[in-house]
Amino acid sequence: MYQLLVDRFDDGQEHPLYDPKTAKHGRDRQEGTIFQGGKLKGITARLDYIKKLGCNAIWISPPFKQNADEPGSYHGYGIQDFLSIDPRFGTTEDLRELVRQAHDRGMFVILDIVLNHTANVYTYKDKETPYRKDGQYEFGDWHRVGKSKELGPDDAIWPIELQNRNHIGQSYNRKFRNYRPRVRSRARRALRNANSFFATDGAMGTSLNQMDTDGIQFNGFYFICASGWSCGVQSSSIARGETIIIFSR
């Protein structure tokens, strides 16, 4: 299996061969903290290279939409829209094509699924963040990129079911395991359905997979299962908080 970070793997462009005489030397620490231009198309272009290394599966970092005004979430773990591919990585069709091309080569594609946190999609009241043992803070406002009163695709969090403040009141918390039971159930269902669009058949409890991907990887499994997800994995693995990969084929 070949694990890669989408943003740091290949930008899909042709570049001259490395020449130590003309190449820049040293490193820019700031550049290491922002998007560098890696694309899903770049991965597709390198599938033959990966296969020649002896790998028959690729495990890619989350390609889902991050905060549009956050250059530091190149890693993919600050999701703002669970229903979209981040345009900095490509499009939904680019992901479909990557999977098609991988399957043509007898290779599997595993997606990294994030269920126990999001991007910074809202602020607390008065922007307060003192430590509180119960982890509960009063909701302030949604994070907005534009100036419109109506929430746009780059604002708040999507799918829209996760925006319902009436169900949550003052108990907003970015970690879903702290939601009240009724709200937690709705959040789970919305996230399960959203991720199932991209993820493997059956493993998310639905059959909505439109990408034909082959597996999903869960990180922070203890927190996910502690919040009431139907995990279907031995409790010993959950207790250790292991990374879990579930295959559908």
**CATH number for the domain that contains residue 216:** 3.20.20.80
Considering only CA atoms, which of 53, 172, 189 is closest in space to residue 115?
189
What range does the domain containing 42 cover? 2-120+185-247
Specify if 129 maps to a domain: no
Compute the chain's Rg from CA coordinates. 19
Specify if 150 maps to a domain: no
Specify if 89 maps to a domain: yes
Which residues is 141 bridged to in the sheet? Answer: 123
User: The whole model's pTM is what?
Assistant: 0.79
The pLDDT of residue 233 is above 60: no
Please state the domain count of the chain.
Answer: 1
The pLDDT of residue 228 is above 90: no
Pairing of strands 122-124, 139-142: antiparallel
Specify if 90 maps to a domain: yes
Specify if 159 maps to a domain: no
Specify if 154 maps to a domain: no
Question: pLDDT value at position 113?
Answer: 78
| Average pLDDT estimate for 211-216 | 72
Among 26-35, 99-108, 141-150, 226-235, name the most confident range.
99-108
Residue 161 pLDDT class (50, 70, 90 cuts): confident
Specify if 125 maps to a domain: no
Specify if 137 maps to a domain: no
